[in-house]
Structure 1
Amino acid sequence: MPRARSLHPDRLAAAALAVIDRDGLAGLTMRAVATELAMSTMALYRYVTDRAELELLVADWCLRDLDTSVPADPQWTDQVKTLALRVRAQVGAHPQAVPLLIANRQRSRPLLRWAESVVTVLAAAGFTGTGRVIALRALVGYLNGALLQEQLGALGGPGTEAIASQTDFPVMRETARAALGVTPEQEFTGGLDIVLRGLRRSDPEPGGPPSS
């Protein structure tokens, strides 16, 4: 029996995201989304098979306006940086949904289009074979980790403040005190720059990008 078309997937994704924004990811249940839509839980199953399908809809919805075109920056490192900053800007309004983006990175079409742009830049820069694979994984790993860490708590949060006031680990105390002055933007772009410098200086495969 075909599903009824009275509920557009965008409306369903928006309702699920509203639940996440309000109650956190733990609050995302079929019942909660059904209540948000003023319908029964059983009726919701006419539109999605299970929570996994619902989570994919949310991931796609969060990134529906993501610009995945290859930037016009002259340097490949600047192109990759721009692509990463676009993702951060897009998910900034819905930090609770970051784990869903990570979990669905190999299924979400906006994320796959973004990855296609990244590997296009890497290929043009001379990365080939396993070198390109590792470069992409390094960039995705940094992006995911940085977004998740920012969602869990920025450097200026209570955890850093607690370390800054303890006496058992003096070097960590000194580091935490410096961290209190670091903005989320500085943390993200600074870490990304470190990763990009490492990729630029890595030993290339034959035909890969020259070290600089």
Structure 2
Amino acid sequence: MNDAAAHTPASPPPTPWERGRPARARVSARTPLSRERVVEAALTVLDRQGLDGLSMRQVAAELGVTVSALYAHVRSKDDLLELMYTRLFDGAALPEPDPERWQEQLRDYARTGRERLLSHRDMARISMAYAPFTAELLPHVEAFLGLLRTAGLPDRIAAEAGDLISTYIDGFVLGETMWRERAAEAAGEDAEDASDHPDVNGMAAEMQDYFASLPESDFPHLHALAGLMVTDSADERFGIGVEIILRGLASYLPDAAAGRRVPSEPDHD
């Protein structure tokens, strides 16, 4: 997760919410169960049954062990969810920040972030609701903020942009997966089989036709944008959203923001 060109940073201390987590168990011939195996089993259950169907009992059944055996490796379901999210970043690395290519680097970050969340069912929900910063992910967060600050963005904007981009990725993938699940339910299929189901395109076309049918005199904007507001290309919609964010950030660069105050505190009347 660290920049390959930079020195390897010292491991940060455990975060306050991790201090109660059991230490990693030593793997031996007598200890077949491990934290890694628990996480892998949990991801298998998640993909099969979704977040609402994920339980410690289901994970234990997947491993063929008792529920109590899991607690030697994770302290709670929330702890397990954090570990599942952290697993997504194994092997992930951000490039050396390049102020001349910062927009391209952030496009790549957004694209890989979306792919990461789509790699397992309901991972966007876990990211938004269950995954605070952990010591394992702090180097990744540090490198991401480095891309923003090296670009020349003011510190206040860089700090807000980090949360904005992450929230956009989470929210887009959450909506994207909910759309697929609705299409799957309509077709009587599993959600994981609905990513390319024609009903997804059919639902988009149905909404486009409805907006186009609205009286133009009453709904001039919906009528005019009917063919653009809902499209069947998630890749295209995601990319346009990223571009909107990038253009907004670019307006805060020193040469673009000359003579304009960078917001620091809310204005009061």
Instruction: Please give the residue correspondences for 1:8-157 in structure 2 after superposition, counting only pairs within 5 Å.
Output: 8-70=34-96, 74-109=100-135, 111-153=137-179, 156=200
Aligned AA (1:164): Q
| SS of equivalent residue, structure 2 residue 115 | helix
Question: How big is each residue's C-alpha offset from its partner over 1:45-82, in whole Å with a ceiling of 9 and x where there is no partner?
Answer: 22211111110111112222323334668421111111
| SS of equivalent residue, structure 1 residue 69 | coil
Q: Distance in 1 between the 2:167 and 2:129 partners?
A: 12
Q: Distance in 2 between the 1:174 and 1:152 partners?
A: 27
Q: In the alignment, which of 163, 183, 202 is matched to residue 207 of structure 2?
A: 163
Deviation, 1:35, is 0.4
Q: Which has the larger radius of gyration?
A: 2
| SS of equivalent residue, structure 2 residue 93 | coil
Deviation, 1:168, is 5.2
| SS of equivalent residue, structure 1 residue 153 | helix
Aligned length: 207
Q: Distance in 2 between the 1:110 and 1:160 partners?
A: 40
**TM-score of the aligned structures, taking structure 2 as reference length:** 0.66
Give the percent of matched residue pairs that are identical in Structure 1 and Structure 2. Answer: 26
Q: In the superposition, relative to structure 1, how do residues 39 and 176 fare at CA in structure 2: closer, same or farther (>3 Å)?
A: farther
Deviation, 1:15, is 0.3
Q: 1:91·1:98 contact (CA, 8 Å) conserved in 2?
A: yes
Aligned AA (1:58): M
Aligned AA (2:111): L
Deviation, 1:36, is 0.5
Q: Distance in 2 between the 1:28 and 1:3 partners?
A: 23
Deviation, 1:160, is 3.2
Aligned AA (2:103): T
Q: Which has the larger displacement, 36-45 or 158-167?
A: 158-167
Q: 1:60·1:110 contact (CA, 8 Å) conserved in 2?
A: yes
Q: 2:81·2:126 contact (CA, 8 Å) conserved in 1?
A: yes
Q: Which runs of 5+ in 1 are unaligned?
A: 203-207
Q: 2:56·2:67 contact (CA, 8 Å) conserved in 1?
A: yes
Q: 2:24·2:35 contact (CA, 8 Å) conserved in 1?
A: no
Q: 2:98·2:150 contact (CA, 8 Å) conserved in 1?
A: no
Aligned AA (1:163): M
Deviation, 1:158, is 5.9
Partner of 2:251 in structure 1?
201
Q: 1:20·1:28 contact (CA, 8 Å) conserved in 2?
A: yes
Q: 1:20·1:96 contact (CA, 8 Å) conserved in 2?
A: yes
Q: In the superposition, relative to structure 1, how do residues 126 and 180 fare at CA in structure 2: closer, same or farther (>3 Å)?
A: closer
Q: In the alignment, which of 236, 241, 266 is matched to residue 191 of structure 1?
A: 241
Which is richer in helix? 1
Q: Which runs of 5+ in 2 are unaligned?
A: 1-21, 181-198, 258-269
Q: In the superposition, relative to structure 1, how do residues 54 and 105 fare at CA in structure 2: closer, same or farther (>3 Å)?
A: closer
Q: Distance in 1 between the 2:131 and 2:25 partners?
A: 29
Q: Which has the larger displacement, 17-26 or 182-191?
A: 182-191
Q: 1:16·1:58 contact (CA, 8 Å) conserved in 2?
A: yes
Partner of 1:205 in structure 2?
none
**TM-score of the aligned structures, taking structure 1 as reference length:** 0.81
Aligned AA (2:239): T
Q: Distance in 2 between the 1:87 and 1:143 partners?
A: 7
| SS of equivalent residue, structure 2 residue 122 | helix
Aligned AA (1:197): R
Q: Which has the larger displacement, 53-62 or 178-187?
A: 178-187
